Amino acid sequence: MITQIAKIMLGVGIWSLVIVVPVVAQTASPSASPSILDSVKEKVAAEIDQIKSAVTKKAYVGSIATKTDTGLTMANLNNESRTVNISGDVTIKLLGGKEGTLTDLKVGDFLIAMGDADGAGVLTAKRILVITKPADEDTRKIITGTVTKSSSTSITVDTTAYKVSSATKFTNKNDITDIVKDVKVVMIVNDTSALLVHLIPSPKP
């Protein structure tokens, strides 16, 4: 009789171990979940940082080569192709400063497209200015930078000075008095002369 009771108790003890062990294992697994989630979050954050670091502020200058309902391609001053996507909140200024839309832009229009460019160089335009195509196409170039010095006769961008004359054009009804130290500009220049000057608006706080 004692032997049978011992066998029953031994059997109960074994089943208790079988039942308890999985429960312990199951209750331990949730504690590992937060660390897995943290690891995933860190990887996602790293990917986002990498994407952000690949996006840069740029300005493209050139003529519209092709146009679609969502964007356009431009031929820049070196006859290189540039892709520009048009977002819904883009600001488009036509010749004379009039507000425009994508439908107002035509193949052949000469413009400055400004916005964010990804790692592949595709620009998402935030602002587009239609301008008069400058003369002397072979020697003109575009520069972007910070004004370090200015006067009624010259604008120095970074370390290079460019002459300002009656032939120099300014966008958005600006003039030389608006081009002061530390502002950022996009300029079309010919050798050492400024042909067109666009003042980049300071970001709103």
Please say whether the beta carbons of 121 and 109 come within 8 A: no
> Domain check: are 71 and 92 in the same one?
yes
Judge whether 100 lies within some domain: yes
Query: Distance between CA atoms of 161 and 151, rounded to whole angstroms?
Result: 10
pLDDT tens figures, 141-187 = 888 899 999 999 999 999 999 999 999 999 888 999 999 999 999 99
Q: In terms of residue numbers, what domain contains 106? A: 55-130
Judge whether 102 lies within some domain: yes
Query: Distance between CA atoms of 35 and 41, rounded to whole angstroms?
Result: 10
| Residue 98: CATH number of its domain | 2.40.50.140
> Domain check: are 148 and 179 in the same one?
yes
- Write a three-state SS string for 46-84: HHHHHHHHHCEEEEEEEEEEEECCCEEEEEECCCCEEEE
Q: Exposed, middle or buried, 144 (CB in 10 Å: 0-12/13-18/19+)?
A: middle
pTM for the complete prediction?
A: 0.52
Judge whether 24 lies within some domain: no
The per-residue pLDDT for 48 is 61
Total domains in the chain come to 2
How many Cα neighbours within 13 Å face the side chain of 45? 6
What is the full per-residue pLDDT of the chain (205 aa) written as tens digits? 444 444 444 444 443 434 444 444 444 444 545 676 776 667 666 666 655 555 677 889 899 999 998 999 999 877 889 999 998 889 999 988 889 999 999 999 999 999 888 888 899 999 999 988 876 555 778 888 999 999 999 999 999 999 999 999 998 889 999 999 999 999 989 888 999 999 988 766 5
Judge whether 48 lies within some domain: no
Centroid of chain to Cα 66: 22
Judge whether 92 lies within some domain: yes
pLDDT tens figures, 10-21 = 444 443 434 444
What does each C-alpha distance from 166 to 77, 118, 193 come to in angstroms? 23, 37, 11
> Domain check: are 152 and 123 in the same one?
no
Judge whether 38 lies within some domain: no
Judge whether 186 lies within some domain: yes
| Residue 161: CATH number of its domain | 2.40.50
Listed residues 105, 130, 155: the one ending a domain: 130
Listed residues 79, 102, 130: the one ending a domain: 130
Judge whether 75 lies within some domain: yes
